[in-house]
Amino acid sequence: MSKSQKTRLGRRALLLGGVQLGLAGVLGWRMHQLGVKQGDQFRLLAEENRINIRLQPPARGLIYDRNGNALALNRQAYTIEMVREQANDPAAVLQRLAQLIPLSPAQIDDVLNEMNRRRAFVPVTVATGLEWEHIAAVSANAPALPGVTPRLGLNRQYPVGADFAHIVGYVGPVSDYDLKKTDDKDPLLLIPRFQIGKNGVEAKIEKPLRGKAGLKRIEVNSVGRVMRELDGQASAPGVNLQLTIGPELQRTAMERMQGESSAAVVMDVNNGDILALASAPTFDPNKFVNGISVADWRALNENEYRPLANKTVQGLYPPGSTFKMVVALAALSLGVANEHEDVYCPGHKDINGRKFHCWRRGGHGNVNLREALRYSCDVYFYEMALRVGIENITKTARALGLGQKPDLPLPAVRTGLMPTKQWKLEKKKEDWFIGDTANAGIGQGFVLASPLQLATMTARLASGNQIEPRLLNMFDNKLSPVKGVGPLEFKKSHLDMVRAGMYDVSNHQRGTAYRSRLRDGAQMAGKTGTSQVRFITKAERERGVTKNEDLPWNRRDHALFVGYAPFDNPRYAISVIVEHGGGGSKAAAPIAKDIMQKALDLGKNEYGPLPSQKRSQVKPIKGTRT
């Protein structure tokens, strides 16, 4: 071999050796990357192949009334779970199980569908909220129920039941519909039959009440079967809430309205605390916790008295004559009325060729502002409404809380309607007519308000302050702030003129609510109202309008009353509506009288609704009780 050939061979060997050395270097570098720098990542991937992480549901926060009594709590309850791969024939096992626990054919179908949607080794909840007797029967028959496992958990309970149903609301199993309508990505919602708030405070403050899930690490084999529990992180319970509602006053309101389709609100005029928020008829929230039956749901949903609706905040009604204080205050503020001027009432007022009638066919004769409120003279307020105009009426109404959405932790709270010319043009595609203003002057036409808004209006008239309704006393053991204590932009002298007329309504012998005056020397200022739900034709008037009691129930007038007491030192404001109850003096005022009397009686007792100066003495709630 020549020298040149040896030289070329040496270069090739050197090049090949360099390539081999480079490859070895790259391989060593990559092994270093995988083994050292990325070692934790790959160890984690390997760990996840044998370790499953399961959620630990938290204990839901508790809800209390103003006196510290539990309204919503958690009690230990038994749950039945089932694993499809262990059951062999799940349908047959479920049929046997149905002989031992409450399990309908529809529920069996739901469980089977849920099993088919999940992997064979994943447990599926069959039933929850069971008693010990059910669990004992299942345990005794365990050999005939393969794949069935009883477990101990927490179930929601409402010890007071129906009295607070519309306020507290209820929880229920999360459904596909719930998942579709929310952007909440909390994995707790994917747990079968996990309970979430469906109505009331339970729904409005769902996330804080729900708490945060814990984690539990489970070792599983190659097919996913649980081998043992390792470690985990404890769940965080939900926050506790305390409401401003007084239990005895709430119970009194519900009992007093029994048999009616009605609503009542009682508010502290000094701080806005809602002491009663009662809607009748009501329902048992405990029936919803584990899923209400079809029969119970149909009975509630088809009841013409609408027991599922919270009429205090969801119901909107023409306020009728309870709105006349708004018109009076607007007229005084604009200087188009005073306490001495008389308006003649012959029983009607002619406006653009149309007669607008007073409720008293023969009229009231000459009446001033105080007398017009005392007798509830419609003609006086037709006149004042025309002088003031709809824009100023609406401005005054909003200053008193009407047409404003209350900021409360309740679902479906409605704003009501205080109309303007622009509103009618946009919504009705029509111009505003002078007759529309006349109708608004007596709380009819387009004007709509909820019982809560009427109570707020009355509290503001009584106190002279911009009181805001308040339902939460404490959130997570911290006092909630009181809002709206600044003065209204009305002269005290004008407010006093309106208050004097309201005083006469309940205390003058010719006042419309004189029969519902308070006892024991207490005096309540108030205003009755009757709002029409049907149009009375000219022909009906000529032949004599049919009496309310002769009409079908759903065509009768609504009965209303608003008031506050004591007159000389206001403390409580109240509003009551009786749907299709007829006259406010006959149907609503007597109910308001009894509820207000109870509020005053309780106010003398330290265990009743707390005076505003004692709010700070309410002790924070510690811990979580089950």
The residues annotated as belonging to the active site are 321
Give the Cα separation of 576 and 513 in Å (integer). 13
Token pair of 150 as six digits:
């009883």
| Maximum distance among all Cα pairs of the chain, rounded to whole angstroms | 142
Short-list 177, 170, 444, CA closest to 288: 170
Under 8 Å CB-to-CB from 264, ≥6 apart: which residues?
A: 253, 256, 257, 276, 278, 312, 451, 574, 575, 576, 577, 591, 592, 595
Give the Cα separation of 401 and 399 in Å (integer). 6
- The β-bridge relationship of strands 558-565 and 148-157 is unpaired
CA dihedral of 46, 51, 57, 58, whole degrees rounded to 10: -70
Give the Cα separation of 200 and 366 in Å (integer). 49
Q: How many other C-beta atoms are found inside a 10 Å radius of the C-beta of residue 423?
A: 15
- The β-bridge relationship of strands 365-367 and 343-345 is antiparallel
| Helix, strand, coil % over all residues of the chain, rounded to 5 | 40, 20, 35
Token pair of 299 as six digits:
């009975």
* 8 Å CB contact between 169 and 200: yes
Token pair of 614 as six digits:
């004692």
The DSSP call for residue 557 is: P
**Ordered DSSP codes for 11-67:** HHHHHHHHHHHHHHHHHHHHHHIIIIITHHHHHHHHHHTTEEEEEEPPPPPPEE-TT
**Ordered DSSP codes for 357-410:** E-SSTT--EEE-HHHHHHHT-HHHHHHHHHHH-HHHHHHHHHHTTTTS----S-
Short-list 554, 575, 569, CA closest to 612: 569
* 8 Å CB contact between 484 and 467: yes
Which residues does residue 54 pair with via DSSP β-bridges, in sequence order?
A: 216
- Convert 593-613 into a string of H (helix), E (strand) and C (coil): HHHHHHHHHHHCCCCCCCCHH
CB-based burial of residue 593 (10 Å sphere; 0-12 exposed, 13-18 middle, 19+ buried)? buried
Give the Cα separation of 266 and 246 in Å (integer). 10
Token pair of 36 as six digits:
């050292």
End-to-end Cα separation, the chain, in angstroms: 97
Under 8 Å CB-to-CB from 584, ≥6 apart: which residues?
A: 320, 321, 322, 512, 513, 528, 529, 530, 559, 560, 561
